[in-house]
Chains A and B, each alone.
Chain A
Amino acid sequence: MKISMFHLMPHRELPPDFEKRYDSVWVTPPWHELADAKRVGQYYNWTLDELLYAARAGFDGVCTNEHHQNAYGFMPSPNIMGAVMAKATNGSNVAIVQMGATLPTSNPPIRVAEEYAMLDCISGGRLVAGLPLGSPMDVNFAYGITPMEHRERYREAFALTLKAWQSRELFAWNGRYYQLANVNLWPRPIQQPHPPVWVPGSGSISTFDFAVDNEVCYCFLSYSGAKAAKSMMDGYWKVVADKGREPNPYRAGFLQLVAVAETDSQAEEKYARHVEYFYHKCLHWPIQLGSPPGNQDYRSMVATLSNPVRRAEDAKKLRYRDFVEKGYVIAGSPATVRDRLKEEVVKGLHVGNLMVLLQIGSMPHELTLENIDLFARKVLPELRGEWNDEGWVNHWWPEQLRGAVAKPATAGVGA
């Protein structure tokens, strides 16, 4: 299987009473009260160093994503981070997994197609092209896109992106939301017919159909762990089967929070407060920001509102041991982490493309490196062979990197 390190680039030093003093970590947190540009520059550099460290430690890929106006994860342009990673990992077998640039907030959206083509060229064909819908906080509240148009814009932009990468001829796009009379991308990606496409989702049923119909890898970016995701991912695999596709585990990606230490109790000692910081502060936003009226289509909204059982529990009431027990975070010794990942995530959800979040909330730089190091040395080698015996092809990974042997990034420069 393929295992990538995911990074959110959070604010690591929010005040202890943040969630009491402020309404939301997203859209409205006041920058001048909460952040300092020089210090934030340090966060960005730590983030790049941590991802690069993972690339050198043997991970298959490094992931960044896009969010706006928040302290939870603020890489408004993931492609700036991706460009650094692409250059610094040249000569290696590490994929640049952009999870990614958000189509509806890019205008015109071929900007994403262009930048991804640049990343594919710079990296020598190592790009995984994540094409997310974007969260309502980012797209509707920060970037002003009408909730009811959000998914329609996304679907049109998605089709435009795929065509822009592949068309041999200049073409005109006379769309509902986008009109471009001369689409003729420079550059084009190295990977043909286009880089592998991943579509992150958060469990919306309409996205399952979209993912399968478009032959992309569906990635569930969950903060509630595999146990909570089980029935949802079963639903995805049912759609895969209903549409007559093979149950290739590489059709699915999953994000899991992971914290490794020498022993289970050391893990609690080292990571408890950072995990609690993440769930209590980084995920602190009013629930209605996540679903403004019209953002969900009618069918999905009816499903959500008539089935309140699926409502997430209040994470603010939970502590480290709850998060671990419920599987929100898989934490402990290398053996504990390995076994739980294998059983709950890899086998439990039938996942071939695993992403692990190893910098969690306030976790400082040195501890993050320690987490990455332990995972890479003691967990990753034990998981890498999963699925090999079944002979599936990972069509959703850069073709030249599909071979099992890792060739980590080395010095960090050169092509």
Chain B
Amino acid sequence: MTREQTITVWQGKVRMRVLSEGAGPALVFFHGPWGLTWDPFLSELARAFTVYAPEHPGTTPGAPDDIYHLDGLWDLVLCYDELLTALKLDEAVLVGHSFGGMVACEVAAAAPRRARRLALIDPIGFWRDSERVVNWMALNPAELPAYIFRDPSGEAARHLFGPAEPPEAVAAARVRLMWAMGATGKFIWPIPDKGLKKRIHRVSAPTLLVWGKEDRLVPPVYADEFSRRIPSARVQTVDGAGHAPHLEQPERVARMIHEFAG
């Protein structure tokens, strides 16, 4: 049974809804650029952890304009610091996907004691001219599933992109998707290299990198950018998955994280 609470941070200006489920050690999940939905991966994790899944500022229903109160990554990281304090989580397993992987890594660099373990799933945060990260905000939304998923017509894609009818539901899903990309894109436009390379050395938590073998947005070579800066980091690739292995292979990725942090 998923619990829901909305926590207000940033001098009362930013409302963040947090979904949670399960019992056991605390685990915070930082969602990617397409917003948060409670998915089989989180349910799987909730069998071994108390999972807290906050919504990125601006993506909480009814609070789209809260995002305008944050000017940059420093503000965002401090928001999460306030959120963790409000949740009474001195330390937790931090798990992040894509954009959320970068944010989790930034939080672990800014406040190393907050992170008991750090697990990053196809994270962004670095840039190579020779293997450019695809700017998903420049793609036609109709093309997105084929970029994110190995199987764009599978259940995982349907779960992320919402129903194909009726028209009102389609429009609502599109609004949600576009605004989530805008509110997260605010911190990474136009190139998602915002100084993590200067700060990542501060990460002290044991780190796991999980990468979908067929990631078309952030090629798996980017794992090297992380692992050479966190020498103890373990890298695991996932067959049969693109940029969202936790959605295409939820049980396998949840098991990896459980074995790493359980």
Is residue A375 within 8 Å, beta carbon to beta carbon, of the partner chain? Answer: no
Contact of B185 with A301 in the complex, beta carbons under 8 Å: no
Query: 0/1 per residue, B44-71, Cβ < 8 Å to A?
Result: 0000000000000000000011011001
For window 134-185 of A, CB contacts with B under 8 Å fall at: 140-141, 144-149, 152, 176
Residue of B with least CB distance to A28 = B138
Contact of A293 with B137 in the complex, beta carbons under 8 Å: yes
Q: Please indicate the chain A residues that have their CB under 8 angstroms from the CB of B186 in the complex.
A: 146-149, 294
Residue in A145, A148, A289 whose beta carbon sits within 8 Å of that of B67 in the complex: A148
Answer whether A148 and B185 are a contact pair too, CB < 8 Å, given A140-B190, A298-B179, A301-B179: yes
Contact of A305 with B174 in the complex, beta carbons under 8 Å: yes
Answer whether A140 and B174 are a contact pair too, CB < 8 Å, given A148-B67, A288-B141: no
Is residue A292 within 8 Å, beta carbon to beta carbon, of the partner chain? Answer: yes
A interface SS class? helix
Q: How far is the CA of A47 from the CA of B137 in the complex (A)?
A: 35
Q: Please indicate the chain B residues that have their CB under 8 angstroms from the CB of A306 in the complex.
A: 168, 171, 175
Is residue A248 within 8 Å, beta carbon to beta carbon, of the partner chain? Answer: no
Q: How far is the CA of A145 from the CA of B138 in the complex (A)?
A: 14
Answer whether A288 and B64 are a contact pair too, CB < 8 Å, given A140-B190, A144-B189, A305-B171: no
Residue in A147, A287, A302, A308 whose beta carbon sits within 8 Å of that of B175 in the complex: A302
Is residue B1 within 8 Å, beta carbon to beta carbon, of the partner chain? Answer: no
Contact of B182 with A148 in the complex, beta carbons under 8 Å: yes
Is residue B254 within 8 Å, beta carbon to beta carbon, of the partner chain? Answer: no
Contact of A288 with B138 in the complex, beta carbons under 8 Å: yes
For window 272-306 of A, CB contacts with B under 8 Å fall at: 286-289, 292-295, 297-298, 301-302, 305-306
Contact of A293 with B178 in the complex, beta carbons under 8 Å: yes
Q: Please indicate the chain A residues that have their CB under 8 angstroms from the CB of B141 in the complex.
A: 288
A176, A289, A294: residue with the most chain B Cβ atoms closer than 10 Å: A294
Contact of A152 with B137 in the complex, beta carbons under 8 Å: no
A148, A293, A298, A305: residue with the most chain B Cβ atoms closer than 10 Å: A293
Q: How far is the CA of A145 from the CA of B183 in the complex (A)?
A: 14
Is residue B235 within 8 Å, beta carbon to beta carbon, of the partner chain? Answer: no
Residue in A140, A289, A301 whose beta carbon sits within 8 Å of that of B189 in the complex: A140
Which interface class (under 10, 10 to 19, 20 to 34, 35 or more) fits A? 20 to 34
Residue of A with least CB distance to B178 = A293
Q: How far is the CA of A302 from the CA of B174 in the complex (A)?
A: 9
Q: Please indicate the chain B residues that have their CB under 8 angstroms from the CB of A141 in the complex.
A: 138, 190
Contact of A305 with B182 in the complex, beta carbons under 8 Å: no
Answer whether A293 and B182 are a contact pair too, CB < 8 Å, given A147-B137, A286-B140, A288-B140: yes
Residue of B with least CB distance to A177 = B71
Is residue B84 within 8 Å, beta carbon to beta carbon, of the partner chain? Answer: no
Residue in A176, A287, A292, A308 whose beta carbon sits within 8 Å of that of B137 in the complex: A292
Q: How far is the CA of A140 from the CA of B191 in the complex (A)?
A: 12
Residue of A with least CB distance to B181 = A293
For window 387-401 of A, CB contacts with B under 8 Å fall at: none
Least CB distance, A326 to chain B, in whole angstroms: 26
Least CB distance, A143 to chain B, in whole angstroms: 9
Q: How far is the CA of A65 from the CA of B139 in the complex (A)?
A: 27
Q: Please indicate the chain A residues that have their CB under 8 angstroms from the CB of B65 in the complex.
A: 297-298
Q: How far is the CA of A287 from the CA of B141 in the complex (A)?
A: 10
Residue of A with least CB distance to B190 = A144
Q: How far is the CA of A325 from the CA of B178 in the complex (A)?
A: 35
Residue in A152, A292, A305 whose beta carbon sits within 8 Å of that of B138 in the complex: A292
Least CB distance, A102 to chain B, in whole angstroms: 17
Q: How far is the CA of A148 from the CA of B185 in the complex (A)?
A: 8
Contact of B182 with A152 in the complex, beta carbons under 8 Å: no
Q: Please indicate the chain B residues that have their CB under 8 angstroms from the CB of A149 in the complex.
A: 186
Residue of A with least CB distance to B171 = A306
Q: Please indicate the chain B residues that have their CB under 8 angstroms from the CB of A294 in the complex.
A: 137, 178-179, 181-183, 185-186
Q: How far is the CA of A289 from the CA of B182 in the complex (A)?
A: 14
Least CB distance, A303 to chain B, in whole angstroms: 10
Query: 0/1 per residue, B166-194, Cβ < 8 Å to A?
Result: 00100100110011111101100110000
Answer whether A288 and B181 are a contact pair too, CB < 8 Å, given A140-B190, A148-B186, A305-B174: no
The 9 closest A-B pairs by CB, nearest first: A294-B182, A293-B181, A293-B182, A298-B64, A146-B189, A148-B186, A144-B190, A293-B178, A306-B171
**B-binding residues in A (CB < 8 A):** 140-141, 144-149, 152, 176, 286-289, 292-295, 297-298, 301-302, 305-306, 308
Please give 16 more A-B residue pairs, beta carbons under 8 A apart, in addition to A148-B189, A292-B137.
A140-B189, A140-B190, A145-B189, A147-B137, A147-B185, A148-B182, A148-B183, A148-B185, A286-B140, A288-B141, A293-B180, A293-B185, A297-B65, A301-B175, A305-B171, A306-B168
**A-binding residues in B (CB < 8 A):** 64-65, 67-68, 71, 137-141, 168, 171, 174-175, 178-183, 185-186, 189-190
A-B contact pairs, 27 of them (CB 8 A): A140-B189, A144-B190, A146-B185, A148-B186, A148-B189, A149-B186, A152-B68, A176-B71, A286-B140, A288-B138, A288-B140, A292-B182, A292-B185, A293-B178, A293-B181, A293-B185, A294-B137, A294-B182, A294-B183, A294-B186, A297-B65, A298-B64, A301-B175, A302-B175, A305-B171, A305-B174, A308-B171
